[in-house]
């Protein structure tokens, strides 16, 4: 009997704000929310963005005037709206109108004559060019006479053709929330996002760990692009070219496994399984597959899965831009037919579009097996029953789509039908499409979804596309989709693709429903979501996610009404603790977990026997498992 991987906590940060308790989702459907819910989320964003502050539980403006959530909406709603989701790249990242680069300059003397200049002796190149003659002038300066000329590189500035990205809310800086010295931005985001996911569960981490063996905890997290800012690979590659020194941390902190490593070392103190799996834009689902397989097989009981990606850098923008993959200012101007470009509509899935929009995001999900979740009284937000991954076979272009995504989506739909029934999939499922906003994707993905729908008898399949709001965060992209899907299960709203006016004529939609407005589903609740992801290189993945209502039916059937009713009683305490965290977080008290050098394990204190290992700080021993896998071949 396979254990069911259930989601008992989730959180993170992207262009929509904080993901836990569905606040990020709420930001994407603001116009469809009741006033009180909308105002609560806006107030939380106002605090994040430093538009208001909180003292003694009250919201205050810069003049210390007390504000209600309604006051905050009236005064700051437009500022919050303009400072979240996809928008023009802010200067805290880079100046897209004056991006720094070096221009080559060839210098020679008049009519081939030698010429001279004065410089500091310590600035002379090593070795000296053969045509240079150097004459000391004093203790520090020299006169250089050059006979053949030379090539120089001079600082220059130019506008970037790409000017939009999905950025964390304006004014919100992860570096300010904990002792983040020399941490790349992607790892800063990982620390605060993983904290948010853990806090959202309403369970203390020690309470969870005390119920399981040390190796029954697993962490799977990565960053597809590694870390690329000046504190990591970016600084490593640029330092000598800029005349600076490489630091001892830049290489180590740049590794794409660092999100998982930081979580183990500074948040969980875990000694369990760990991994950093990358599959381009499908990386989150690759990690999610590993996490769910660990739980269903019984090799882990608790898994934290996620990604942290911070690619809003000049190098990433220019790299993807050189491929013609990103939406440019000129491309958007051509689509909109006007000179004044609305960068908030840069990401345009399934409509007239010209490329995707880079974004930063860190998202994490806390999974447990169903038995442990019931035992602890965990609040269950959904379940992940399957993640399917298939490659594309032989390819001509490494970035072009291929047949693998047909395999993943078909297997996902077939799997869901076996679990919840054919009719529920046909009438109560929806798709969170990859929806990258490229001209190729709008055709190829819509065609495959339309064909899958036809094959399985689905007549009017709702399609959502989170990238319209938060952009494309590469490794974290499908995690953004999953967070949004959980919001749909909670509020029964399918977010419309509101950055477009109409679906493009070449989009296949005979069996699909692609709406430009939010679609309410309270009268016919959705119970299944298919998360679809396509990545460069033929990295295709599709996941099956079940709503809490479907999970509860399954758990009652497996464990019985009596056990489930006892669980519901325990869950009230957990939900109260989770809500208390949410209320603190809305007021800026994010309670970041960062245990630098705390409770380190002395390996000399490990107690090792032929049956088990006791690890200091862990309640339960690691008991060696009986291995019968090769019993038919074992022995002399």
Give the active site residue among 22, 23, 472, 511. 472
Residue 581 CB partners (closer than 8 Å, separation 6+): 199, 200, 202, 591
- How many C-beta atoms lie closer than 10 Å to residue 111's C-beta? 5
Determine the Cα angle at 96 with ends 95 and 100, to 5°: 65
CA distance 464 to 480: 12
Contact assessment for residue 172 and residue 15, using Cβ atoms and an 8 Å cutoff:
no
- For 299, the token pair is 């090799």
Q: Is 472 a catalytic residue?
A: yes
Q: Is 150 a catalytic residue?
A: no
Contact assessment for residue 545 and residue 528, using Cβ atoms and an 8 Å cutoff:
yes
Give the active site residue among 183, 281, 508, 511. 281
CA distance 13 to 443: 30
CA distance 138 to 143: 10
- How many C-beta atoms lie closer than 10 Å to residue 245's C-beta? 9
Length of the chain: 636
CA distance 348 to 407: 26
Helix (H) or strand (E) holding 602: none
Helix (H) or strand (E) holding 333: helix 329-336
- How many C-beta atoms lie closer than 10 Å to residue 145's C-beta? 14
Contact assessment for residue 196 and residue 20, using Cβ atoms and an 8 Å cutoff:
yes
For residue 526, which of 509, 507, 511, 548 has the smallest C-alpha distance? 548
Tell me if residue 632 falls in helix, strand or coil: coil
Measure CA 138 to chain center. Answer: 57
Tell me if residue 610 falls in helix, strand or coil: coil
CA distance 43 to 77: 9
Contact assessment for residue 101 and residue 158, using Cβ atoms and an 8 Å cutoff:
yes
Tell me if residue 561 falls in helix, strand or coil: helix
CA distance 106 to 153: 9
Q: Is 316 a catalytic residue?
A: no
CA distance 591 to 589: 6
Give the active site residue among 183, 381, 432, 434. 434
**Dihedral of CA 174/177/183/188: which sign?**
negative
Which residue reads 């809490």 in tokens?
548
The residues that are catalytic are 281, 434, 472
């Amino acid at each position: 009997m396979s254990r069911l991987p259930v989601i008992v906590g989730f959180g993170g940060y992207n262009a929509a704000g904080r993901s836990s308790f569905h606040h990020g989702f709420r930001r994407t459907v603001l116009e469809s929310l009741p006033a009180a819910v909308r105002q609560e989320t806006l107030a939380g964003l106002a605090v994040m963005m430093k538009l208001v502050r909180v003292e003694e539980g009250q919201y205050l403006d810069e003049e210390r005037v007390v504000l209600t959530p309604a006051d905050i909406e009236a005064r700051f709603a437009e500022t919050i709206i303009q400072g979240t989701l996809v928008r023009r790249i802010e200067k805290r990242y880079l100046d897209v109108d004056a991006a720094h680069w070096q221009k080559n300059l060839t210098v020679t003397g008049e009519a081939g004559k030698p010429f001279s200049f004065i410089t500091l002796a310590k600035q002379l190149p090593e070795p000296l060019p053969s045509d240079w003659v150097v004459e000391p002038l004093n203790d520090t300066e020299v006169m250089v006479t050059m006979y053949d000329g030379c090539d120089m590189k001079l600082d220059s500035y130019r506008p970037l053709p790409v000017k939009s990205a999905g950025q964390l809310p304006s004014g919100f800086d992860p570096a300010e929330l904990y002792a983040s010295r020399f941490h790349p931005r992607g790892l800063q985001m990982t620390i605060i996002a993983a904290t948010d996911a853990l806090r959202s569960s309403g369970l203390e981490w020690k309470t969870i760990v005390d119920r399981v063996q040390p190796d029954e905890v697993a962490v799977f997290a990565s960053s597809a692009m590694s870390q690329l800012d000046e504190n990591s690979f970016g600084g490593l590659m640029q330092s000598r070219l800029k005349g600076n020194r490489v630091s001892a941390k830049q290489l180590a902190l740049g590794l794409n496994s660092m999100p998982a490593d930081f979580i183990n070392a500074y948040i969980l103190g875990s000694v369990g399984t760990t991994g950093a799996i990358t599959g381009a834009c499908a990386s989150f689902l690759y990690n999610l597959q590993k996490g769910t397989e660990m739980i269903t097989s019984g090799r882990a009981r608790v898994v934290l899965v996620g990604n942290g990606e911070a690619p809003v850098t000049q190098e990433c923008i220019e790299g993807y831009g050189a491929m013609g993959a990103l939406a440019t200012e000129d491309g958007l101007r051509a689509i909109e037919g006007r000179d004044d470009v609305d960068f908030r509509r840069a990401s345009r899935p399934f409509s007239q579009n010209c490329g995707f929009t880079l974004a930063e995001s860190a998202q994490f999900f806390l999974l447990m097996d169903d038995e442990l979740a019931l035992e602890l009284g965990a609040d269950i937000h959904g379940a992940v029953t399957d993640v399917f991954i298939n490659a594309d076979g032989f390819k001509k272009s490494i970035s072009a789509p291929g047949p693998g995504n047909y395999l993943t989506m078909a297997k996902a739909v077939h799997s869901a039908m076996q679990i919840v029934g054919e009719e529920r999939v046909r009438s109560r499922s929806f798709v969170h499409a990859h929806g990258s906003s490229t001209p190729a994707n709008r055709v190829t993905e819509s065609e495959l979804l339309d064909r899958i729908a036809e094959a399985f008898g689905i007549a009017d399949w709702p399609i959502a596309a989170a990238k319209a709001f938060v952009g494309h965060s590469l490794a974290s992209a499908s995690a953004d989709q999953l967070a949004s899907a959980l919001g749909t299960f909670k509020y029964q709203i399918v977010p419309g693709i509101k950055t477009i006016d109409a679906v493009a004529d070449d989009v296949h939609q005979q069996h699909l429903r692609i709406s430009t407005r939010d679609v309410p589903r309270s009268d016919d609740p959705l119970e299944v979501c298919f998360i679809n992801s396509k990545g460069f290189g033929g990295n295709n993945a599709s996941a099956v996610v079940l709503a809490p209502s479907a999970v509860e039916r399954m758990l009652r059937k497996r464990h019985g009404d009596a056990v489930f009713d006892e669980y519901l009683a325990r869950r009230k305490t957990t939900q109260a603790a989770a809500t208390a965290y949410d209320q603190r977080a809305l007021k800026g008290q994010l309670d970041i977990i960062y245990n630098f050098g705390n409770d380190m394990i002395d390996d000399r204190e490990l107690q090792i026997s032929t049956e088990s290992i006791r690890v200091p700080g862990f309640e339960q021993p690691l008991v060696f498992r009986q291995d019968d896998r090769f019993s038919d071949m074992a022995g002399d």
